[in-house]
Amino acid sequence: MNNTVSKNQMDLSHCDTAANMLATLNEILDCNDYNEQKIKVNLGELTLTNAHIFSLKTILESSNVTIDILFTTSAQTQLAALGAGLVVSEKLEEFYSIDNKDEEHQVDSQPEGNDKTQETDSLEKELEDAIDQEAKSKNLLEDKIKNTLYIKQTLRSGQSVNYDGNVVIIGDCKPGSEIIATGDINVWGVISGIAHAGTDGDYNANIRALKINAIQLRIANLFARKPDRSKVDKLNKVSSFIPEEARISQGEIIIYPLNG
Amino acid sequence: MTGRVIVVTSGKGGVGKTTSTANIGTALSKSGAKVALIDTDIGLRNLDLLMGLENRIVYTIVDYVEGRCKLNQALVKDKKNPNLVLLAAAQTRDKSAVTPEQMSEICEELKKEFDFVIVDSPAGIEQGFQNAVAGASEAIVVTTPEMSAVRDADRIIGLLEAKDEIISYKLLLNRVRPAMVRTNDMMGVDDVTDILSVKLIGVIPEDEGIIVSTNKGEPIVNNTDNSKASIAYNNVARRIMGEDVPLMDFDTQQNWLDKIKNIFLAPANS
Amino acid sequence: MKLVNDLINEIIVSSKRILSTNVTATKPTINDNSDSKNSACNRLKLVLMHDRSNLSPGTLQEMKDELVDVIARYVEIDRDALDLNLESEDNSIALIANIPVLRAK
């Protein structure tokens, strides 16, 4: 069985040392054609230093491959990867869930015949494993119920709320203010500052407010900014708002109106 | 390459440090120089607004100092000019988040890559000011022709003189109203340079266009209409680069016509 | 009495040295309200004189006290009425002391 399953992914999570990882990497690059691709790399719980990450990046770049997202559960590796300017996630299940889709696609796209039966079997097995793992991690998530911070005050410029959990604010968040939460952010008012939800990598976190006019929104490691010359009407308190929710959809932060 | 680190400071608030930083930096970068602007007003940042980059700031100088990002990740590229970057201050912290040592380390780092590093100093003479001047070897002292601003500028000049690292400092006289100077209701260029006995790097006339440009988040030197303030800031940039540019004449149209006459008359006389 | 004069002179000379400021007022002060620029220039020069000298009100008071102690050794003076200030007069800055002498000792 190959180390990789689909074309835009690379699973190195089974490597136990950095040297082993780099050797495997070379092997994979030799056997596969990744030419000019953005790939998702899974490093599992492997601990890597800045130098290792740099080597990984350079080796991939020399084969015209760039890293789309790096999955790792090791804090040190995350730090090193962030330092190298990479997008990092610790949600390995995301890697495997993308895996599923791609596998299905691969299976579909291959017509019957040839000698693919064995591989299809192993793929199916892997698919089951992946589903198991996803279910497991979902349970884990549910086990970890997040606390909620309730603030009855308008946040002004320079004020910052940083909380491990969800944040509820009854009031506005003025330009220059900042809300950072590992969970969801709910504002009963207008967000005009910066809001960062799901800071520990939770792609399912979202930001809700009566009006989202934020200069920047961040969810997990994605961020979106206000357009430069947005012709947003001057906000008028008396006009009625349609509440809005920002969440991640297809790798981008999108603001949806919440009108029934 | 070793760039020049220039701190823009004033002592008094509201005299136009940030506006001057934005415009001088933009003017320098338009002439092809690589320019980095640093906002050191942690907790009261505004340079990002004047540059129109407020929505692009992900990492600030504090994030860099505290190891959350690399220096080049914290540099926000200008919308128009790829030669120009901004290192923004954090809004949710205070001046003590950065030390003078860290500041000079940042300037040293940026000097390697940029021709000019322009540091926007906060008002006051406390730690924010000490941070801003820490990495600089040149200073531009901004003042307006008002007693309070000139007095504070004098204090700042005294502090700059005491710093060995500052090898030169020049005065930028901002918000001059030529009409009031003519009626002796405002100190003129000579009065201020006389009192402070400092060399001048430029004189900027009061210009309503500055307010408009701040509203738009676009430094006035980017305007094509060549307002007086825009020309004056471009002249300052040229003087910084060593060009010998005479001071602008802010006088009225009558004098302007006279000048044209003089141009026509000059060859005949000589 | 001559000794007192010498002392005062000495103090004035030394304080002038402290005030190493370029002392040239543009015009003799004309009390003309319409010409606010000149009044600003003159006031500013005086203020900067104080600022640059680092002569804080405290130091001035200290100087005053020492001066009075010396003079009081020779003549009896009215300590409360004593007045000592930096003033700008006739194109120069002077340390003006007004010391009412009650009687010689």
pLDDT tens, residue by residue, A68-125: 888 888 878 888 888 777 888 877 777 776 544 444 444 333 344 444 445 556 666 6
How confident is the model over A194-248, as pLDDT tens digits?
999 999 999 999 999 999 989 999 999 998 988 876 555 556 655 677 899 999 9
Q: Is the pLDDT of residue B254 over 50?
A: no
Whether B191 contacts chain C with CB within 8 A: yes
Domain end call among A143, A173, A208: A143
B137: burial class by Cβ within 10 Å (0-12, 13-18, 19+)? middle
Global pTM value: 0.64
- A1 part of a folded domain: no
Longest dimension (CA), chain C: 52
Q: What is the DSSP string of B87-111?
A: EPPPSSS-GGGS-HHHHHHHHHHHH
Whether A157 contacts chain B with CB within 8 A: yes
- A3 part of a folded domain: no
CA distance A51 to chain B (A): 15
Whether C32 contacts chain B with CB within 8 A: no
More confident call, B189 vs A10: B189
Whether A76 contacts chain B with CB within 8 A: no
Whether B154 contacts chain C with CB within 8 A: yes
Q: 3-state SS of chain A?
A: CCCCCCCCEEECCCCCCHHHHHHHHHHHHHHCCCCCEEEEEECCCCCCCHHHHHHHHHHHHHCCEEEEEEECCCHHHHHHHHHCCCCEECCHHHHHHHHHHHHHHHHHHCCCCCCCHHHHHHHHHHHHHHHHHHHHHHHHHHHCCCCEEEECCCECCCCEEEECCEEEEECCECCCCEEEECCCEEEEEEECCEEEECCCCCCCCCEEEEEECCCEEEECCEEEECCCCCCCCCCCCCCCCCCEEEEEECCEEEEEECCC
What value does the mean pLDDT take over residues B117-131? 96
Evaluate the CA torsion angle B220, B223, B226, B227 in order and state its sign. Answer: negative
Q: What is the pLDDT, as a whole number, of residue B19?
A: 97
Q: What is the pLDDT, as a whole number, of residue A70?
A: 83
Whether A221 contacts chain B with CB within 8 A: no
Chain B interface, mutation test: which of C39, C43, C44, most B Cβ atoms within 10 Å?
C44
In this structure, are A250 and A180 located in the same domain?
yes
Identify the weakest region by mean pLDDT among B114-123, B182-191, C7-16. C7-16
Identify the weakest region by mean pLDDT among A139-153, B165-179, B253-267. B253-267
Residue numbers in B near C34 (CB within 8 A): 184
Confidence band of B258 (pLDDT split at 50, 70, 90) = low
**Could you tell me whether strands A222-225 and A194-197 are parallel, antiparallel, or unpaired per DSSP bridges?**
unpaired
Distance between CA atoms of A82 and A94, rounded to whole angstroms? 18
In this structure, are A118 and A238 located in the same domain?
no
Chain C interface, mutation test: which of B176, B191, B197, most C Cβ atoms within 10 Å?
B191
Confidence band of B30 (pLDDT split at 50, 70, 90) = very high
Confidence band of B270 (pLDDT split at 50, 70, 90) = very low
Chains that touch A (3 or more CB pairs under 8 A): B
What value does the mean pLDDT take over residues A116-144? 60
| Best CA proximity match to B252, nearest among B197, B168, B181 | B181
Domain end call among A143, A173, A193: A143
Q: Would you give per-residue pLDDT tens digits along chain C (105 residues)?
A: 556 666 666 666 555 545 544 444 444 444 455 688 888 988 888 888 777 776 777 887 888 888 888 888 888 888 777 777 776 655 566 777 787 888 777
Residue numbers in B near C51 (CB within 8 A): 151, 154-155
- Pull the structure tokens for residue B79: 């919308």
Structural domain count of chain A: 2
Q: Is the pLDDT of residue A137 over 80?
A: no
CA distance B92 to chain A (A): 4
Domain boundaries, position A59? 9-143
Q: What is the pLDDT, as a whole number, of residue A185?
A: 96
- A185 part of a folded domain: yes
What value does the mean pLDDT take over residues B200-223? 94
Contact (CB<8Å) C52/B187: no
In this structure, are A162 and A91 located in the same domain?
no
- C14 part of a folded domain: yes
ipTM of the predicted structure? Answer: 0.75
Residue ranges and CATH numbers for the domains of chain B are: 4-269 (3.40.50.300)
Q: Look-up: residue for tokens 């308008």?
A: A154
Q: What is the pLDDT, as a whole number, of residue B266?
A: 53
Q: Is the pLDDT of residue A15 over 60?
A: yes
Contact (CB<8Å) B195/C36: no
Q: What is the pLDDT, as a whole number, of residue A35?
A: 67
Domain boundaries, position C39? 2-20+35-104
Residue numbers in B near C36 (CB within 8 A): 184-185
How confident is the model over B134-144, as pLDDT tens digits?
999 999 999 99
Q: Look-up: residue for tokens 């606390």?
A: A147
Whether C27 contacts chain B with CB within 8 A: no
How confident is the model over B151-164, as pLDDT tens digits?
999 999 999 999 99
Residue numbers in B near A177 (CB within 8 A): 92
Q: What is the pLDDT, as a whole number, of residue C2?
A: 55
In this structure, are A28 and A117 located in the same domain?
yes
Q: Which residues are within 8 A (CB) of B73 and not within 5 positions of it... i.e. 6 or more apart?
A: A85, B58, B59, B64
Identify the weakest region by mean pLDDT among A74-83, A139-148, B58-67, B201-210. A139-148
Confidence band of B262 (pLDDT split at 50, 70, 90) = low
- C30 part of a folded domain: no
- A108 part of a folded domain: yes
In this structure, are A188 and A236 located in the same domain?
yes
Residue numbers in A near B54 (CB within 8 A): 175, 215
Residue B44 CB: number of other CB atoms within 10 A? 17
How confident is the model over A145-162, as pLDDT tens digits?
789 999 999 999 999 999
In this structure, are A88 and A168 located in the same domain?
no
Searching chain B, which residue's CA lies closest to the CA of residue A196? B58
Confidence band of A13 (pLDDT split at 50, 70, 90) = confident
Q: What is the pLDDT, as a whole number, of residue B35?
A: 98
- C29 part of a folded domain: no
Contact (CB<8Å) B69/A82: yes
Q: Is the pLDDT of residue A64 over 60?
A: yes
More confident call, C89 vs B39: B39
Residue numbers in A near B55 (CB within 8 A): 215-216, 225-228
CA distance C38 to chain B (A): 8
In this structure, are A190 and A134 located in the same domain?
no
In this structure, are A60 and A128 located in the same domain?
yes
Q: What is the pLDDT, as a whole number, of residue B241?
A: 95
Amino acid present at B199: K
Mean pLDDT estimate for chain B: 91
* B235-243 long-range Cβ contacts below 8 angstroms, 24+ apart: B235/B202, B236/B20, B236/B24, B236/B27, B236/B172, B236/B201, B236/B202, B236/B204, B237/B24, B237/B27, B237/B28, B237/B31, B238/B31, B239/B201, B239/B202, B240/B6, B240/B24, B240/B28, B240/B116, B240/B201, B241/B28, B241/B31, B241/B33
Domain end call among A108, A143, A178: A143
Residue numbers in A near B52 (CB within 8 A): 228
In this structure, are A139 and A155 located in the same domain?
no
Distance between CA atoms of A58 and A23, rounded to whole angstroms? 14
Whether A158 contacts chain B with CB within 8 A: yes
- Number of A–B residue contacts, CB under 8 Å: 31
